[in-house]
Structure 1
């Protein structure tokens, strides 16, 4: 028996050849580097290729060992950090230089009592339920004036009001919303996302109680001011908390639930106000902030905020509670901890080194004033601020605030309260549809189509009111109004809120979320305050107002088509890097210029 001079007899993969000549290398394999297993199967006699194949196999095995070591190190380090801070164990002996510890069960996983009861998705939904309940209260604040004003204007009202006082009651709620958003930006970074909402729900409840017991106009204005202030306060933490606790696959759906909650709140306020006195309606609306507190108490703080404050063990526990222990969640947690300075590998382990710096991490190291002037902040700020402008000046909240009065003019004899409930039901159903569409359709195409359809329906409604015969086809204005509510509810209403929780850099998310929300509510106030004048100035009533709102929506569809980024199914870190100017690789790993992207 002869052995090939290139084979090592100690190598179990070495191929020993018989005395007879070895068969030639098959033609289809010439010029191809094969693995050791493939060479043995083919009985190839090319010693150089056998050696290359053996080296390739060894490299693959080494790569697998390195990858296993990386995951073991990250898991052991995270478990050790949690136990050390809890005082449950000492740091333990450090591994030797080349030691690889065996894979052990994660103590956080074993000690999680809810792991077998609730899936990560269920826990994310439970965590989002608190912000959703607070947002339902915000929707009630928006819809409350539509039922409050007709009752106060009734001849038998105990608090009679004039036309000018009615506009102030309606606009008093959106007036302090911008201030609330700015104050909320400060609370977010100091108290955290969850605790901020718990604190805000207390004055929110007090505002509703003040409305319920009001005996004169100043008390009503005070209650409206306080509830409006809390709407502004609770908006940014609700968005950011859901955005930072939901996984990418469900983040759009859960953020769209914010707009659904607003629609539900408006519907509930209108239904209650239609059948109940406005005082009893206010008492019932006060239960929504209390429900928010009940849902938030068992939920954890945002892992992103905890990590930014150096509370890495708490961040790890909160992240695991929300996201579970699958591979994708583990990799995202590892990146989160590494971004904020946690060593992801045990001391002495053979790690691949610190993570390479990203564009967003380099921007975050700049002074604050330079971060505010960098494109990573300015680009999303301008886009989201313009998006909020388009949403408000498409008339969505003007219609919500003055629905009953509008239906008196365009309802064609239909009872205005019944028509209002119909529009509210359509708004809720379309908000539910938006939650589904955001899981299946990208943000950008949905926004463009929604804005264009909104503009077309509004222009059609304006033309019908201006040139149509009110006595004929009385159903047409109501149908166009339903079409408008449908179009605006599936895109223009939810998407600015969804993307405001996604596109801003993590270290500026509280500040930027508060600033854009403040601008939104300034636009809100301007639209609601100018609404009665726009609807009444020109005859027939409503034609000019709907034409203005429709023109804004049509122009907005062009802006969204040109400048709105796509964020569907992207992690927050990927979105942050893209906003900061990172090159986006193609499928072959190269950018648009053909250069490799690291």
Structure 2
């Protein structure tokens, strides 16, 4: 639709439909990956969502740099078409099949996805016991609403909403969407802003690969905290340079570029991948779909708000002040994560849920 558009109206309709479909796929992807992968590799696979986004941005920017927007739209349409075809060869989530009472297909899908070993058998038995309990107590609307009021739901929800707020209002997507404009202002004249933009995209992609490895080695909590504070200080440095540097200081262009690269590196190892990982991990089985849907919708809502307000903030508040605000959000978000972000590395989904249930029991007299 976008590639064949002759008026701005059709472009806007195409963008709306694209955004709607991406928004619907967001929670589905995280829940599917979390339910079909084991604790050993779940973090890496969930972090691969951010890697895929980084690769997509890089490809789109490279194509858009050398080709016109209509050709770019056609090429970008090929990727979701390929994914649509591949989905037909992927089995349903074992958890979803169990929720429908299809134990035979759930067992086959589980072993097809995870292999047949003692660890897989033990986890499948635990999963089946969990679903037997849920099946024995079919929830009414009022009971479902009551579950949403439990600490096992709203505590993870608050953590994720603040995490996604920190991610978006630290400015990561503003930098991605308006990278050419930002490059012109921060690097000055005489710098190839398109080349600098692609360099940042390459850095983002490389660091997303690094994040997949680090999540397996170090865990989500330390990476998230390091990411938030590192991003904050990097963008504070960029803000300070823009405030204090003399006009047209092309010889000092390496300083803001270093700050931007550092910012992208820090954001990519924690703030970008971890909240997506947690949407598929923190919520109890009975409300996981609702929880991941609400948190993902909030993420896309804040995504929209920050991208729409970015240009206005640059004009009315100036670029240095805007970056300072983004840095303050990242810094405050890092403080929140220190006190409230749990570690889920090497834990099954059942173990994570039981952790919140124990906390709930301790809080009751």
TM-score range, shorter chain: over 0.9
Q: Look up the match of 2:268.
A: 489
1:427 aligns with 2:204: yes
Write out per-residue CA displacement over residues 493-540 of structure 1, whole angstroms, 9 at most, x where no aligned residue.
Answer: 1111011110011121111111111111111111011100111224xx
Cα distance in 1, alignment partners of residues 178 and 291 from structure 2: 31
Q: 1:419 to 1:363 in 2, by over 3 A?
A: farther
Distance 1:533 1:451 in 2: 24
Post-superposition CA distance 1:237-296 (Å, at most 9, x none): 111111110111000000000000000010010000001111011001111111112322
Aligned to 1:532: 311
Out of 140, 144, 151, the residue aligned to residue 368 of structure 1 is: 144
Matched, 1:505 2:284: yes
2:205 matches 1:414: no
Match for 1:296 among 87, 91, 95? Answer: 87
**1:462·1:546 contact (CA, 8 Å) conserved in 2?**
yes
Give distance in 1, aligned partners of 2:105 and 2:353: 24
1:120 maps to what in 2?
none
Are residues 1:386 and 2:130 paired?
no
Residue 156 of structure 1 is matched in structure 2 by: none
How far off is 1:364 after superposition?
Answer: 7.8
Whether the 8 Å contact between 1:253 and 1:438 is mirrored in structure 2 is: yes
State the match for 2:25 in structure 1.
234
1:514 equivalent to 2:305? Answer no
Q: Deviations over 1:150-172 (max 9, x none)?
A: xxxxxxxxxxxxxxxxxxxxxxx
> Following superposition of structure 1 onto structure 2, how do residues 391-406 of structure 1 map, counting pairs within 5 Å?
391-406=167-182
2:56 corresponds in structure 1 to: 265
Aligned equivalent of 2:259: 480
Counterparts of 2:148 and 2:286, CA distance in 1? 11
Q: Tell me if the contact between 1:364 and 1:371 (Cα under 8 Å) persists in the aligned partners.
A: no
Distance in 2 separating the partners of 1:293 and 1:494:
23
Q: How far apart in 1 are the matches of 2:2 and 2:168?
A: 26
For residues 149 and 70 of structure 2, what CA distance do their matches in structure 1 show? 48
Asked if the contact 1:300/1:318 (under 8 Å) is kept, the reply is yes
- Write the distance in 2 (CA, Å) between the matches of 1:270 and 1:261: 14
Confirm or deny: 8 A CA contact 2:51 2:205 kept in the other structure.
Answer: yes
Q: Separation in 1 of the partners of 2:155 and 2:257?
A: 39
Separation (CA, whole Å) in 1 of partners of 2:27 and 2:296: 7
**Deviation readout 1:131-186 (Å, 9 max, x if unpaired):** xxxxxxxxxxxxxxxxxxxxxxxxxxxxxxxxxxxxxxxxxxxxxxxxxxxxxxxx
8 Å CA contact 2:169–2:329 kept in 1: the answer is yes
Q: Which has the higher contact order (CA 8 A, sep 6+)?
A: 2
- Cα distance in 1 for partners of 2:139, 2:232 equals 40
Q: Which residue of 2 aligns with 1:307?
A: 98
SS in structure 2 at match of 1:212: coil
Q: Answer yes or no: is 1:331 the counterpart of 2:122.
A: yes
Match of 1:421, SS state, is helix
Deviations, residues 208-257 of structure 1 (Å, cap 9, x unaligned)? xx000000110111111110111101101111111110111000000000
Aligned-partner SS, 2:343: coil
Distance 1:388 1:432 in 2: 21
Residue pair 1:376, 1:581 contacting (<8 A) in 2 also: no
Are the counterparts in 2 of residues 404 and 416 from structure 1 also a CA contact under 8 Å? yes
2:357 matches 1:574:
no
Selected match of 2:15 from 224, 238, 241:
224
Contact kept? 1:239, 1:501, Cα under 8 Å = yes
The 4+ residue runs of structure 1 with deviation greater than 4 A are: 361-366
Q: How does 1:61-80 map to 2 (within 5 A)?
A: none
Aligned residues: 357
- Root-mean-square deviation (Å): 1.9
Aligned to 1:561: 338
The C-alpha deviation readout for 1:110-131, integer Å capped at 9, x for no partner, is xxxxxxxxxxxxxxxxxxxxxx
CA distance in 2, matches of 1:388, 1:382: 10
Give the aligned partner of residue 467 of structure 1. 244
* Offset, 1:582: 4.9
Partners in 2 of 1:482 and 1:537 — Cα distance? 26
Instruction: Give the Å deviation of 1:469.
Output: 2.0
**How much has 1:542 moved relative to structure 2?**
1.4
1:458 aligns with 2:235: yes
Which one has a larger percent helix, Structure 1 or Structure 2?
A: 2
Structure number with bigger Rg: 1
